[in-house]
Structure 1
Amino acid sequence: MTNKPIKMSANGVQVWYGDTHAIKDVSVDLEDRTVTAFIGPSGCGKSTFLRCLNRMNDTIDICRVEGDIHLDGQDIYDRRVDPVQLRARVGMVFQKPNPFPKSIYDNVAYGPRIHGLAPTRADLDQLVEEALRHAALWEEVKDRLTAPGTGLSGGQQQRLCIARAIATQPEVLLMDEPCSALDPIATGQVEELIANLTKDFCVAIVTHSMQQAARVSQRTAFFHLGNLVEYGETGQIFTNPVDKRTESYITGRIG
């Protein structure tokens, strides 16, 4: 066990889509500067739970969330919390690269502009460069920042989306299967990037790949049928799981 501080905590989280009970009484703590992987079969609720952490489910009319989720001790579902400001603190990278139809520079500058993070053009230039460096993309694009972001390769587009997410200087970064649309080389680049991001961020990643979870995460949560079955140190989850369902999933008997 580590002694890293808890960045986000969820207690008794329940999610319904209409009458469908998608998440059932999930409680989990996310440590700062740690990668936590959410694994489990398709439809088990891991992406739904991930979206609870920055209130993305608010955008779904039939979705209802109950329970407590705190960021640095603050209830993120408190009525006084602005979801837009919350998503600046809890960034998200989606399954498929989704750069805006703008230049590489404007993709990264978008968040800082709307949140007023860069008073001057020089400040904005610095934020964009820092985000692209953080995303291991600066050296590849520094001479073509005015080129469209959609013209990059798939792996570069995903790293651009990561740069866009971290440009608002978030504290938590959520990733929903960020490598599922990428080739093995691009996947390796993004995985290496995720490892480097833990120096500055709390990272939670949903992945269908148990090998990826084992490579990039320090903590792993196994979901099954809307339940959080087991949560612990990644090595322990994969080599000595406590619950039989976890063992069955890891050995391929369910999933």
Structure 2
Amino acid sequence: MKDMRLTESTVDASEIKIAAKGVDVFYGDTHAIKNVDVDILDRTVTAFIGPSGCGKSTFLRCLNRMNDTIPSCRVTGEITLDGEDIYDRRVDPVQLRAKVGMVFQKPNPFPKSIYENVAYGPRIHGMTRNKAELDEVVENSLRRAALWNEVKDRLSEPGTGLSGGQQQRLCIARAVATAPEVLLMDEPCSALDPIATAQVEELILELTENFSVVIVTHSMQQAARVSQKTAFFHLGNLVEYGETGQIFTNPKDPRTESYITGRIG
């Protein structure tokens, strides 16, 4: 069956933050991602949806070269950030991950204080010249993560002592502290209760004032609430990509419709 991907000819090249062309991913002999083309727009939330094992998290991990950490993984094709090939040998993956931050499924604060969790990235990347500047980055990052008022009087306490929702917002603060341009989120709410999920979703929408956000989610309701663009993956293929409202109400590909209506999943 031919993939019926939406081409968005009205998109200006200057709006494209990340462009993927002909991306394939192999784990040993397993072909996990098959010839994916997608443009991720600046200051937009893009949701990746699809059944378990369809490749959406694998593809997400290509965008900041996290798959480099898996010995059996091989990525081919081209992925550019602001027009520069992120897989070029001259690109330092550590510097790339400062630009393309990541928040994982389960909150994973470092076993350090709340302050040190946020200060770690700016410190190792040499982003501040003194303690006052570092203090400012920590406060601003915690404010962006809507956490400052809850923790400002206990910054020296361990981050692991926070509630699950607070830990996830701490991880978001840690990710934004390095002033990334893109924030990747791999099912960031799957371990959270409904109240904490609502707080993180509200935060995602606020973050697009400064960042492109790409979120992998199993929840179609969440994708509909937070994203402007949606990409549907199935069996390693990017089946369809377009405006979120259109994907959910008028999908072009029958496989997308089957997933949205619950016939496959």
TM value normalised by structure 1: 0.99
User: Per the alignment, in what secondary structure is the counterpart of residue 178 of structure 1?
Assistant: coil
Deviations 1:189-225 (A, max 9, x none): 0000000000000000000000000000000000000
Q: Which runs of 4+ in 1 moved over 2 A?
A: 1-4
1:177 Cα deviation (Å)? 0.1
Give, in whole Å, the separation in 1 of the partners of 2:229 and 2:61. Answer: 18
Counterpart position of 1:24: 34
State the identity %: 81
Counterpart position of 1:237: 247
Give, in whole Å, the separation in 2 of the partners of 1:119 and 1:73. Answer: 30
Give, in whole Å, the separation in 1 of the partners of 2:156 and 2:37. Answer: 44
Query: Are residues 1:36 and 2:46 paired?
Result: yes
Give, in whole Å, the separation in 2 of the partners of 1:24 and 1:246. Answer: 17
Trace 1:135-214 onto structure 2 (pairs within 5 A).
Answer: 135-214=145-224
User: Per the alignment, in what secondary structure is the counterpart of residue 119 of structure 2?
Assistant: helix
User: Which amino acid is the alignment partner of residue 230 of structure 2?
Assistant: T
User: Per the alignment, in what secondary structure is the counterpart of residue 64 of structure 1?
Assistant: strand
Counterpart position of 1:85: 95
1:126 Cα deviation (Å)? 0.3
Counterpart position of 2:3: none
User: Per the alignment, in what secondary structure is the counterpart of residue 214 of structure 2?
Assistant: strand
Query: Are residues 1:249 and 2:259 paired?
Result: yes
Deviations 1:221-252 (A, max 9, x none): 00000000000000000000000000000000
Query: Are residues 1:6 and 2:16 paired?
Result: yes
Q: Which runs of 5+ in 2 are unaligned?
A: 1-9
1:93 Cα deviation (Å)? 0.2
Give, in whole Å, the separation in 2 of the partners of 1:244 and 1:212. Answer: 22
- Check 1:237–1:95 CA distance in 2 against 1; reply closer, same or farther (3 A cut): same
Counterpart position of 2:84: 74
1:2 Cα deviation (Å)? 6.2
Q: How many corresponding residue pairs?
A: 255
User: Per the alignment, in what secondary structure is the counterpart of residue 121 of structure 2?
Assistant: helix
Trace 1:34-73 onto structure 2 (pairs within 5 A).
Answer: 34-73=44-83
Deviations 1:32-71 (A, max 9, x none): 0000000000000000000000000000000000000000
Q: CA RMSD in A?
A: 0.8
Counterpart position of 1:225: 235
User: Per the alignment, in what secondary structure is the counterpart of residue 178 of structure 2?
Assistant: coil
User: Per the alignment, in what secondary structure is the counterpart of residue 48 of structure 1?
Assistant: helix
Counterpart position of 2:7: none
Give, in whole Å, the separation in 1 of the partners of 2:238 and 2:31. Answer: 14
User: Which amino acid is the alignment partner of residue 240 of structure 1?
Assistant: N
